[in-house]
Structure 1
């Protein structure tokens, strides 16, 4: 008798089910085709920071802010705009312990990166949580997303070289200006970087303050090229 593979057995016992509506998922994704089609993809955005544009522009267009003051990272790739069902998915993955949602978001991000076809980095670095926040939450959603992306793209994930050393006020409670000051000195390297090209993995970019501060620390340590890969981008 032919043995059933583990993945086939899992699919049989636990078939993919859409997180949003409960219908059958597509393949191994907990998302149906209908709900997937309704998600707000961030296809027209600034090449550098992924700020959504209100109209269609050439793929390499930069927003005014990036033209005036380029951020300390090279490029940003995001999957969705922070609209529609996306906030529900993000909150489920970030605060409610639903790692199946984090897995789905990682799959969606990996698909977006494959479609963008950038030169792949040497390593993925999830945005770290402060140890106190990690103990409270029990997991880092950015790391869970990074693990899925790493498996899909066959890229190593390094979650030990960067640390969040200050327990700062949650960014969502602050203005854009206060966010920049809030994160000064929040990140540090635990060892010298062994790579020159990295991608930082985050769940949601709002003002890009968090990834900018972490990118600044990495750039000062000699990392030559830093991309941001995030599931969603908030903005107009």
Structure 2
């Protein structure tokens, strides 16, 4: 008599066999703690559960707010040049471990994980005509060897089926690292740092993409350049917002 096979669970698997041993050896590891990844992902269950997904926030600058508040006091007093700002995460553990790995250590696996998370978080937002990564200055790009904003934007554009426009914005002036400056100095540092040009049709609505939004100075300077070019609506999509 032919032995019946359970189609739900499949035939028995020899956990001592070479294939199972290789699967265990090369199983995905958590990029944060090094434990085995959950369901083949690059995060373990504990680190995935700890992800600080963004909640209610100001519609113009993405700073966290109590539920029901549409705009923060700063944006009410002085509306920014961004029409909207959306963040996938609040900057905190474990995103504060993953973003520096992408930004300073060329960890493209961390970038892929964060970009996929951005696609999940931002898919329901108003769709722009194009995504525009905030560019590095050519000198910084030569030193670093890659552009972290572009590494986030490229897979994000593919995942959401949106055009990627790297021709619209360039950084025409090298600036000091923003992380070393206070808010007024950040604004002065990036004032006039960007120039916008269009080699093709000008989109009416774009979303600037960057890794972290702290004071918003860099995104505001980039948005002003795009508005001078004639872009009607400029949003910001960022991986994380510093509260």
What range is the shorter-chain TM-score in? Answer: 0.7 to 0.9
Alignment of 1:62-101 (within 5 A): 62-101=71-110
TM-score, length basis structure 1:
0.87
2-structure distance, mates of 1:63, 1:83: 21
2-structure distance, mates of 1:32, 1:111: 18
User: Which stretch shifts more, 43-52 or 127-136?
Assistant: 43-52
User: Which stretch shifts more, 132-141 or 192-201?
Assistant: 192-201
Q: Secondary structure at the match of 2:166?
A: coil
Q: Secondary structure at the match of 2:63?
A: coil
Select the residue among 96, 100, 107 that pairs with 2:116. 107
2:167 is the counterpart of 1:157: no
Alignment of 1:196-211 (within 5 A): 196-211=204-219
Q: Secondary structure at the match of 1:73?
A: coil
Q: Which residue of 1 aligns with 2:31?
A: 19
Q: Which residue of 1 aligns with 2:67?
A: 57
User: Any gaps of 5 or more consecutive residues in structure 2?
Assistant: 1-22
2:186 is the counterpart of 1:179: yes
- The CA deviation at 1:15 is 5.0
- The CA deviation at 1:103 is 0.8
2:41 is the counterpart of 1:33: no
- The CA deviation at 1:105 is 0.8
Q: Secondary structure at the match of 1:204?
A: strand
1-structure distance, mates of 2:141, 2:208: 18
Q: Which residue of 2 aligns with 1:125?
A: 132
Structure number with larger C-alpha Rg: 2
Task: Tell me how many residue pairs correspond in the alignment.
Answer: 219
2-structure distance, mates of 1:120, 1:232: 19
Q: Which residue of 1 aligns with 2:12?
A: none
Q: Which residue of 1 aligns with 2:19?
A: none
Q: Which residue of 1 aligns with 2:236?
A: 228
User: Any gaps of 5 or more consecutive residues in structure 1?
Assistant: 1-11
User: Which stretch shifts more, 199-208 or 77-86?
Assistant: 77-86
